[in-house]
Amino acid sequence: MRQIKRNLRLLLLAIRTGYLKRRYGMNIAQGALLSSKCHLDKTNPKGIYIGEESYISFGATILTHDFVRGLHADTFIGKRCFIGANATILPGITIGSNSIVAAGSLVTKDVPCNSIVAGNPAKPIRHNIKTKKYGKLCNEEG
């Protein structure tokens, strides 16, 4: 029963991702996983780029426009990244591959590859990390 629920959930998430790609023209790589409760900016949807095997958690918001400044900018998330719950990525930001954005973080500057950022505003707390599928941190000891 548990496996059926898991497969059904993955199917529904794949349908949603396909819809976002076809309807809005978002650039979401094959194998990326988006929570059903994440928020992707539909004001400039073609400006969203999400890399392979990345995971966007519930409540995370990815913006591609700033109404106050009249800005429309592309936002990039690299391969094998994890965007934590309720994190916010501002427009024009690039999250490097193999990076983790901690839950509740506000990302105002580009995130280098292979790093973990946290806080408001998000600051690097760890460098030279390795991630695997969906941004899961690799065990460095073995």
**8 CB-contact burial (10 Å; exposed 0-12 / middle 13-18 / buried 19+):** exposed
**What residue segments make up the domains of the chain, in order of their start?**
2-134
**The CATH number of domain 2-134 is 2.160.10.10:** yes
pTM for this entry: 0.92
Q: What is the pLDDT of residues 82-91, one digit of tens each?
A: 999 999 999 9
Judged by DSSP in three states, 65 sits in: strand
Q: What per-residue confidence (pLDDT) applies to 16? A: 93
Q: What is the pLDDT of residues 104-135, one digit of tens each?
A: 999 999 999 999 999 999 999 999 999 999 99
Count of residues in the chain: 142
